[in-house]
Copies of this chain bind each other. A is one copy, B any other.
């Protein structure tokens, strides 16, 4: 990370209570690499430097989060936002079957936000999650923005050479699995859209609300599963469920050149979503299929490797939801004896 280093058409401002340099120096102390770290240069130079390791591949992802598109300042907290900014990128690395190692986080904020505790709290949330997975913050960029907050979260990971799990690779006959439970993040988003706040005091179903709102605002990436599936070479293809099961299955099938049949009765719908939906006339299956942002992993395993799968990793179970078919069979979902096309119904940006 370095101080922002470009000229603006506005004159430089020099009257602030703390400078970018002070902030970066503080962050630098907190994130100082240890002597035996693979980090050669961390925060504070023109770029970060890490030692390459023979026999490894380096995995890199980037996620751009824009205020009022990807989050609302009034619906979250700076710490939760810091957590989520890193979590979405951790999930990308997990979806490659790799181990997350190093983060660079760029953040642009309006001047009044800079003067508040926002940026400190944002990095507080981010660094707490980073510490949980032994990820080091090694760089980034800070900038001012005219109005809205913007964040770019960059994550580097590694895995054994050639062990990466792509979206391509699923074969007809492979079994389709998902980690955890689906629909929670979408249910949380619906509640936020309807005005729910954290902490949601006075609610008669506080616990349920908090659970699904935290699924939306504080996603937990499936790092452990990603590493196990990559190390043991158990998955033939993988993607994280960010757009929604239906959309992300389409992505995986498209890359693999295959079709799929999902059994709707197998989909692990978040129990608390089902409870909440009953009270609010929402369809839990629709949320689980198309909702998005659950950041669970969707992966395929050849039939003869299914028995090698662990039942749980880090306390997270997996569920078989269907089978890969030939491309000509299309992407379908069965409900009892009925079968229909599973259209991608998740998020699409433009």
Contacts and interface: CB of A to CB of B under 8 A. Distances in A.
Interface string A154-190: 1111100110101110000000000000000110010
A106 B152 contact: yes
A143 B57 contact: no
A98 to B, nearest CB: 7
Interface stretch (A204-212, A237-245, A275-283, A307-315): A237-245
Interface stretch (A88-96, A121-129, A257-265, A331-339): A88-96
Residue among A16, A53, A54, A63 with max Cβ neighbours from chain B (10 Å): A63
Given A52-B57, A95-B47, A161-B52, A64 B106 contact: yes
A326 interface: no
Given A9-B193, A40-B57, A143-B69, A46 B350 contact: no
A46 B90 CA distance: 10
Interface stretch (A29-37, A133-141, A266-274): A133-141
Nearest to A239: B46
Main DSSP-derived SS at the A contact region:
mixed
Contacts of A63: 5-6, 106, 141
Contact of A141 (B7, B64, B147): B64
Given A10-B69, A140-B62, A54 B57 contact: no
Contacts of A111: 350
B5 A152 contact: no
Contacts of A185: 7
A269 B193 CA distance: 57
Given A54-B52, A62-B106, A47 B3 contact: no
Given A50-B57, A51-B57, A293-B6, A348 B14 contact: yes
B6 A44 contact: no
Given A59-B49, A150-B108, A164-B40, A20 B349 contact: yes
Given A7-B185, A20-B348, A146-B148, A61 B44 contact: no
Which 6 interchain pairs have the tightest Cβ spacing? A5-B242, A54-B54, A47-B61, A152-B152, A4-B349, A46-B95
Interface of A: 2-10, 12-14, 16, 18-21, 23, 40-41, 44-70, 72, 75, 88, 91-93, 95-96, 98, 102, 104, 106-108, 111, 114, 138-148, 150, 152, 154-158, 161-162, 164, 166-168, 185-186, 189, 192-193, 216, 238-240, 242-243, 255, 291-293, 346-350
